Structure 1
Amino acid sequence: MQFCTIETPLGQAKVTGDTNGITSVSISDTTEQLSEIIPENLLDCVTQLKAYFREERQNFDLKLNPNGTDFQKRVWQELQKIPYGKTCSYLELSKKLGNPKAIRAVANANGKNPLWIIIPCHRVIGSDGSLTGYAGGLYRKQWLINHENRHKQQTLF
């Protein structure tokens, strides 16, 4: 397993993976030494993350290999269908997965997402439009939603 640490506008991100794919991307407030050399298996991920933050990329095209239960992986696959700049409620996500009563299980799987930004769990909000739990902190969730909505035209009326 290889890893590297890069700087992002929201703190340092640690990217982990190997030839089987990217297993995790996490964000933290700690300051570790940034990686001078990016392992080849992680280079595409780092390049795409940097492009995302420069507003040059809206979707990721990476080989992913997250660890999780079958249910969590189903939730994470559904999360990847939420378009850039859009949001979805936990209830909507539960319905898409075929079980509207599974809101808590869906929220739990969302919170265990090991691939920060790449699997866009930040796009899931409460049914009333409120920001709800986010492992990286609500201020990061708000920043990401604003980042993705920056270029939407404002209505005049």
Structure 2
Amino acid sequence: MGKQSIYWTSYLHKKTNWEIYLAATDFGLCYVSLPNEPFEAFTSWINRRFKNYKLIKTEEKFATNIKEVNNYLNGERLHFSWQLDLNGTAFQQSVWNALLNIPYGQTVSYSEIAIQIGNSKAVRAVGTAIGANPLPIIVPCHRVVGKDGSLTGYRGGLNVKKALLAIEGVM
């Protein structure tokens, strides 16, 4: 059996000076880095998820993705139109699918996500699944806040979470 192709590129958003890595399989977008996350974090994630792969750098494959991310970061886009290839456990996927249902410009709490997926006692597990989200910004984990509305942990740092919520008019 041949190696699976993982296509990737990087993008620099000039206004924020954020560098973002994007990766896709033949089935869809599988990874978007947090702003200014090192390339090693990207390759480490790929190595954990895909055992037999080859990385192929290509900007052409991501032209639409880059345009949409750019428009989102400029406050000009509310939704993304891409096919996603979410790679995670069944529990993680249920959490990530719940995140996809949070409307632009709104926030929900971790406990609301736990209730939505049918496991109200799994608030900490929901937080762990959110922290493992391979498609931040696209699968909007930045829209999840504490029960009292406070900003809580974010793998990319609270300054990035605040900036993303500000783009959506929440902050």
TM-score calculated relative to the size of structure 1: 0.86
| TM-fit CA distance, 1:27 | 2.2
Could you say which residue in structure 2 is the equivalent of 1:5? 10
| TM-fit CA distance, 1:39 | 3.2
Query: Residues 23-78 of structure 1: CA distance to partner in whole angstroms, max 9, x if unpaired?
Result: 1000243687xxx96132x2222121111112221011110002110110110000
| TM-fit CA distance, 1:132 | 0.7
Could you say which residue in structure 2 is the equivalent of 1:22? 29
Could you say which residue in structure 2 is the equivalent of 1:149? 169
Distance 1:30 1:102, change over 3 A: closer
Unaligned runs of 5+ in 2: 1-5, 40-56
Could you say which residue in structure 2 is the equivalent of 1:137? 157
Could you say which residue in structure 2 is the equivalent of 1:126? 146
| TM-fit CA distance, 1:82 | 0.3
Identity %: 39
What SS class does the counterpart of residue 73 from structure 1 fall into?
helix
Q: Distance in 2 between matches of 1:25 and 1:31?
A: 12
Coordinate RMSD, CA, aligned? 2.0
What SS class does the counterpart of residue 27 from structure 1 fall into?
coil
Could you say which residue in structure 2 is the equivalent of 1:64? 84
| Aligned pairs, number | 147
Q: Which amino acid aligns with 1:4?
A: T
Could you say which residue in structure 2 is the equivalent of 1:39? 60
Q: Which amino acid aligns with 2:23?
A: T
Matched, 1:109 2:109: no
Contact kept in structure 1, 2:74 and 2:167, CA below 8 Å: no
Q: Which amino acid aligns with 1:65?
A: D
3-12 or 65-74, which deviates more: 3-12
Q: Distance in 1 between matches of 2:37 and 2:121?
A: 37
Q: Distance in 1 between matches of 2:63 and 2:95?
A: 26
What SS class does the counterpart of residue 16 from structure 1 fall into?
strand
Contact kept in structure 2, 1:10 and 1:140, CA below 8 Å: no
Unaligned runs of 5+ in 1: 153-157
Q: 1:93 aligns with which of 91, 96, 113?
A: 113
TM-score calculated relative to the size of structure 2: 0.80
Contact kept in structure 2, 1:4 and 1:39, CA below 8 Å: no
Contact kept in structure 2, 1:2 and 1:39, CA below 8 Å: no
Q: Distance in 2 between matches of 1:46 and 1:71?
A: 29
